Structure 1
Amino acid sequence: MKKEHLSYIYLLLIHALIGIFLYVLPIISTVLTVLVFALGFYYISKNRNRNNEALVMSAYVVSIEVLLRMTGGGIFNEFGKYTILIYMFLGMIYSGFSRNSLIYWFFLLLLIPSIILSFISLSFETNIRKAIAFNISGPVCLGISAIYCYKREITFDRLKGVITAFCLPMISVVIYLFLYTPSVKDVVTGTQSNFATSGGFGPNQVSTILGLGVFVFFVQLLLNSKSKLLQLINASFVLIFAFRGIVTFSRGGIITAVVMIFLFVIVLFFQANANIKPKIALIIIFSFLAGMGVWGYSSLQTSGLINKRYANQDALGREKKSQLTGRETLMESELKMFFENPVLGVGVGKNKEIRAKETGIVAASHNEITRMLAEHGSLGLFGLLILFFTPLFLFLNNRQNILALPFLAFWLLTINHAAMRLAAPAFVYALSLLLVQVKIPEKAENSGD
């Protein structure tokens, strides 16, 4: 077996051990948080970001963020976003950014008026700094990551390295989840999102990362498994992540994974030559059969309750009134704010105050689209249009980034059910802007032009 294949297996084993240690001694989570940040900063600086080390370390942080937070080691909630911001700035210091990324600087400028408005409109009882940081850190992280990635030339091999960086901490996550809940059957009693199967953390966010895990290991299986052993390992993890994602009873992450895989396979099919297309058709068939197998096993482990969850029924099989577990009310209130304040919106963080006053519901937004409209008004709408259409135009001009559409889909679907609580949608979105080339000169690897 080749040295790089063994290295991959060793790294998977090391991260399995990390998951075990965090379960046995959760106190080390804080130490791990500091260590991850420091080693990432050192790794990027030592190599002067010659090979886009900033992307590799940011992908690693995206995957480990949920684990650190569920074990109490995240130090503060926005650790993932702030760390990625620092890595992106450090990467740009060493290797610059595209002069053509002006559109994302403009996106960031669109956020400013509503930030200023929030200082005027938020009540004195509200912690203004936290209210603004909670809502704006995601879009800012996205904007800076997009500036770094916009038309940045990167080899396809290096992109696969970024995918591997996503994979490693996810092993720790899934090991921790199995140790936390070894028997799913014993803890599933209803059809609501299940904290017990999600490591005691938010099922929505855990489902998001597990869904991303399904996709990245599927990519590893198809594009980065050059031996039978690696194929077996990566295929096994696709199934394991799918199972653990399903039994969180939070539907968003798994639905997103299915859409990403579908788009990925479709892009592969249309870009492949005639000899490869039959193999891709077989992959589609085997993926469908494997998916049905995982679903059947999940149904057995949950005594059929997972079927009722996806059919929007309660444990007794009765149709639930809400299709989106009550999020419609939040979305409706935010759309109402947008129509009443169409120019600048109500200000960053203000929508939660207004909703609490008018409806008595004290809850933060779960939908980044309606939140942007409510808090930023027409400027938010314009910003969302920039975010949606720019990656599509880039993909049409350069289709070598075969992961661009799945990355864009991950951002779009995730912000519809989990807003931007995690750093994942912001950073993964930015990857859709990369100018991927199968073979490029070494000097151009970091070029942003």
Structure 2
Amino acid sequence: MHILIGLAVYSLEVLSKVYILGIVLYFSNKILYSKPSQKTLHVLIACSYVVGAEVFLRMTGGNFLYELSKYLVILFCLMGILTTRLKQPIPFIVYIFLLIPGILVAGFNMTEQTTIRTAIAFNLSGPVCLGVVAIFCYKRKISYQNIHRVLLAMLLPLITTTIYLFVFTPSIRDIISGTGSNFAASGGFGPNQVSTVLGIGMFVLSVRFFMLSPSLFLKILNGLLLAAISYRAIVTFSRGGVITAIIMITVFVFYYFRKVNQKTKFRISRTVLLFVSMGLLIWLYTSFQTSGLIDMRYANKDALGREKSDISTGRADLVSFEIDEFLKNPVLGVGVGKIKELRQINEGIDAASHNEMSRILSEHGLFGMVAFLILLISPLLFRIRNKSNIFFFSCYFFWFLTINHSSMRIAAPAFIYGLCLLDIQFTSKRTKKANVALKKKNLMPVAS
């Protein structure tokens, strides 16, 4: 179905708006009319699906508002917050309140160039989305089976995105001429954002390849999907999403290997060899299709093989400017959305650093520093007490790395940060039934 959606939207782009309307109606209905015991699952699946579909909807003009996907994630989480019991997410409530002074500062320092509503919507929709998701997810229980359903919901629209990219630019050789990020290979949209979400697809398919592919057929199916998504992620020539995905996968395999018994360790070792071999083949094929330019890109060289002086492609200077503004305005910062305006006035550069750490410091001052420390430390403290979440470090690193190369322009880092805070339950259905029977007889429940 999702393959057909990609083909249909490419044929008639107005169907993208029908698609987003269908998403809103379907998932709102599922959340509103679900049983209390299923409410958490349906909220997470709804948010996960929206996160997976966000970039596809943007590149095809489906969103009625540019930040609509973040608003939907906030809406779905609020529906869950108002209808389920919370687990005292005080750190994240404090975090949201710490963002308010920056709004006031921006309001007091308005200029003719300032559009306060747009500045707040564009710069705070991501941080607020993260705060709301964190409040909803904090210490919330979800079964091992259901977390895979949540990840699958994110994967399905990413398959749609991949299909759309293949029909949009079927021949990569015809559009590659240099080592810069390539918009033509990214569906005419931002390569950084496309690379980021396809990197998520690489991670989810890797998880399914290792954990949910017991048969040869499923290994082939997940392997082919992984190869297709990896290839399209690499040819965007945007490195951030791909490198982040590789780190997520490596961390996941490491913790998965540590958690299982000796027999499963042997199976994972064989699967890793197959997995690495497949990765090398994907890279060789991509290198062939790009005439070796992708090798130059990851070696930080231009098309002529000359090494580039700045591996950050100019972002280091932008971050440095933001740090300087923080040091000049250490308490309250310069105000929400003002840092880009100040850079334009002082240096004549109309560009963003896409670094959430330096942005929150420069725009919110010490309030921003405390807010960021809450985000940085709270999941780690939760992890010390609860080590059940096998995806914890993969999700945590995704959030941290993504906000440093792509800021929070999409909802993915906000939602995936929330997945760090879930309490994954590994009790099997059979064990649950046994426990229920034992409780009726006033006996001790069995161990899972």
TM-score tier after normalising by the smaller chain length: over 0.9
One-letter amino acid of the counterpart of residue 333, structure 2: G
| Helix, strand or coil at the partner of 1:297 | helix
Aligned counterpart in structure 1 of residue 271 of structure 2, from 265, 269, 283: 283
Show structure 1 runs of 4+ deviating over 3 A. none
Aligned counterpart in structure 1 of residue 50 of structure 2, from 42, 54, 61: 61
Q: Answer yes or no: is 1:205 the counterpart of 2:228.
A: no
Task: Note the alpha carbon deviations across 1:249-269, whole angstroms, 9 max, x for none.
Answer: 000000000000011011112
Q: Answer yes or no: is 1:339 the counterpart of 2:327.
A: yes
Q: Answer yes or no: is 1:245 the counterpart of 2:233.
A: yes
Q: Which residue does the alignment assign to 1:70?
A: 59
Write the mapping of 1:185-334 to structure 2, written as runs, cut at 5 A: 185-334=173-322
Q: Which residue does the alignment assign to 2:385?
A: 397
The answer on whether the counterparts of 2:159 and 2:229 sit within 8 Å (CA) in structure 1 is no
Task: Note the alpha carbon deviations across 1:391-418, whole angstroms, 9 max, x for none.
Answer: 1222232222101110111111111111
Deviation, 1:216, is 0.6
Supply the distance in 2 between the matched residues of 1:50 and 1:23 (Cα, whole angstroms): 39
Q: Answer yes or no: is 1:24 the counterpart of 2:11.
A: yes
| Helix, strand or coil at the partner of 2:87 | coil
Query: 373-382 or 150-159: which moved more?
Result: 373-382
Supply the distance in 1 between the matched residues of 2:238 and 2:296 (Cα, whole angstroms): 12
Q: Which residue does the alignment assign to 2:367?
A: 379
Task: Note the alpha carbon deviations across 1:324-357, whole angstroms, 9 max, x for none.
Answer: 1111121111111111111111111010111111
Supply the distance in 2 between the matched residues of 1:341 and 1:285 (Cα, whole angstroms): 52
Supply the distance in 1 between the matched residues of 2:60 and 2:36 (Cα, whole angstroms): 31
Deviation, 1:49, is 5.3
Q: Which residue does the alignment assign to 2:27?
A: 40
Supply the distance in 2 between the matched residues of 1:107 and 1:246 (Cα, whole angstroms): 35
The answer on whether the counterparts of 2:210 and 2:268 sit within 8 Å (CA) in structure 1 is no
Task: Note the alpha carbon deviations across 1:62-82, whole angstroms, 9 max, x for none.
Answer: 000111110011111111100
Supply the distance in 1 between the matched residues of 2:311 and 2:110 (Cα, whole angstroms): 32
Supply the distance in 2 between the matched residues of 1:55 and 1:320 (Cα, whole angstroms): 42
Call closer, same or farther: CA 1:143–1:388 in 2, change over 3 Å: same
Q: Which residue does the alignment assign to 2:74?
A: 85
| Helix, strand or coil at the partner of 1:201 | coil
| Helix, strand or coil at the partner of 2:262 | coil
Supply the distance in 1 between the matched residues of 2:3 and 2:36 (Cα, whole angstroms): 28
Task: Note the alpha carbon deviations across 1:15-66, whole angstroms, 9 max, x for none.
Answer: 0000000100011111211221111111111114532200001000000011
Supply the distance in 2 between the matched residues of 1:233 and 1:112 (Cα, whole angstroms): 48
Supply the distance in 2 between the matched residues of 1:384 and 1:280 (Cα, whole angstroms): 37
The answer on whether the counterparts of 1:50 and 1:95 sit within 8 Å (CA) in structure 2 is no
Task: Note the alpha carbon deviations across 1:134-187, whole angstroms, 9 max, x for none.
Answer: 001101000000000000011111101101101111111000000001011111
The answer on whether the counterparts of 1:49 and 1:95 sit within 8 Å (CA) in structure 2 is yes
Give the number of equivalent residue pairs.
Answer: 428
Task: Note the alpha carbon deviations across 1:69-98, whole angstroms, 9 max, x for none.
Answer: 100111111111000000001112222321
| Helix, strand or coil at the partner of 1:427 | helix
One-letter amino acid of the counterpart of residue 34, structure 2: N
Query: 316-325 or 67-76: which moved more?
Result: 316-325
| Helix, strand or coil at the partner of 2:263 | coil
One-letter amino acid of the counterpart of residue 69, structure 1: R
The answer on whether the counterparts of 2:296 and 2:302 sit within 8 Å (CA) in structure 1 is yes
> Which one has more relative contact order, counting CA pairs under 8 Å at least 6 apart?
1
One-letter amino acid of the counterpart of residue 71, structure 1: T
> CA RMSD for the aligned pairs?
1.4
One-letter amino acid of the counterpart of residue 294, structure 2: I
One-letter amino acid of the counterpart of residue 95, structure 1: T
Deviation, 1:226, is 3.9
Task: Note the alpha carbon deviations across 1:178-215, whole angstroms, 9 max, x for none.
Answer: 00010111110100000111000000000001100000
| Helix, strand or coil at the partner of 1:275 | helix
One-letter amino acid of the counterpart of residue 174, structure 1: T
Task: Note the alpha carbon deviations across 1:353-388, whole angstroms, 9 max, x for none.
Answer: 111111101123311111011111122122212112
Q: Give structure 1 stretches of 5+ with no counterpart.
A: 1-13, 443-449
One-letter amino acid of the counterpart of residue 218, structure 2: L
Deviation, 1:238, is 1.3
Supply the distance in 1 between the matched residues of 2:172 and 2:340 (Cα, whole angstroms): 35
Supply the distance in 2 between the matched residues of 1:396 and 1:284 (Cα, whole angstroms): 28
Task: Note the alpha carbon deviations across 1:83-126, whole angstroms, 9 max, x for none.
Answer: 00000011122223212x10100111111111111111131332
The answer on whether the counterparts of 1:60 and 1:166 sit within 8 Å (CA) in structure 2 is yes
Q: Which residue does the alignment assign to 1:4?
A: none
Query: 324-333 or 174-183: which moved more?
Result: 324-333
TM-score (norm 2): 0.93
The answer on whether the counterparts of 1:160 and 1:224 sit within 8 Å (CA) in structure 2 is no
The answer on whether the counterparts of 2:139 and 2:422 sit within 8 Å (CA) in structure 1 is yes
Call closer, same or farther: CA 1:371–1:47 in 2, change over 3 Å: same
Q: Answer yes or no: is 1:178 the counterpart of 2:166.
A: yes
One-letter amino acid of the counterpart of residue 383, structure 1: A
Supply the distance in 2 between the matched residues of 1:407 and 1:393 (Cα, whole angstroms): 15
One-letter amino acid of the counterpart of residue 113, structure 1: P
The answer on whether the counterparts of 1:163 and 1:220 sit within 8 Å (CA) in structure 2 is no
Q: Which residue does the alignment assign to 1:132?
A: 120
Supply the distance in 2 between the matched residues of 1:225 and 1:390 (Cα, whole angstroms): 34
Deviation, 1:225, is 2.7
Supply the distance in 2 between the matched residues of 1:278 and 1:123 (Cα, whole angstroms): 64
Give percent identity, aligned residues only: 45
Call closer, same or farther: CA 1:353–1:215 in 2, change over 3 Å: same
